[in-house]
């Protein structure tokens, strides 16, 4: 198979005899596109949008002489539905964890606690209030704010 083509990334191949089976004397054009250079966010695997894009691409590019069997299509739709349900459960669990953290933080108001200060010293006092800053809960003890991660002990 000989290749010649435009300089813009496209390539043309002419199949003759031993090139592609079943393709004789026809031109085949392939477009090569640069890779998307956006940064990869988190490596979590395929999401439901990715799965749907793959399914649509598969339907668009299927061989007309061998279309996707009904069983395969139904199985893929079931997988898509299961993926969506798992993502919904994951979001619900994350929301439950956020609410649990809030309940635990607010339950400390009026309680005597021991926290570790930034300098490594230990501070003991009563939690006057709880506030949320940048998505994290902060305990106000003796006029200073401490994160829940700095909580060492609930004294009384």
Q: Which CATH class is domain 108-154?
A: mainly beta
- Mean of all residue pLDDT scores within the chain: 75
Domain boundaries, the chain: 1-33, 46-106, 108-154
Tell me what pLDDT residue 18 has: 45
Q: Confirm whether pTM is higher than 0.85.
A: no
CB 155 within 8 A of CB 117: no
Quick one: pLDDT at residue 44? 56
Question: What residues contact residue 17 under an 8 Å CB cut-off, 6+ apart?
Answer: 24
């Amino acid at each position: 198979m000989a290749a010649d083509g435009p300089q813009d990334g496209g390539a043309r191949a002419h199949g003759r005899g031993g090139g592609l089976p079943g393709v004789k004397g026809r031109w085949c054009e392939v477009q090569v596109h640069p890779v998307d250079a956006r940064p990869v966010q988190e490596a979590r695997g395929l999401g439901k949008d990715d799965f749907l894009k793959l399914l649509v691409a598969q339907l668009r590019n299927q061989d007309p002489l061998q279309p996707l069997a009904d069983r395969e299509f139904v199985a893929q739709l079931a997988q898509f539905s299961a993926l969506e349900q798992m993502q919904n459960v994951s979001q619900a669990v994350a929301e439950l964890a956020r609410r649990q953290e809030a309940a635990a933080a607010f339950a400390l108001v009026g309680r005597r606690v021991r926290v570790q200060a930034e300098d490594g010293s230990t501070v003991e006092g009563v939690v006057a209030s709880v506030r949320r800053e940048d998505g994290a809960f902060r305990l106000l003890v003796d006029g200073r704010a401490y994160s829940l991660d700095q909580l060492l002990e609930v004294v009384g």
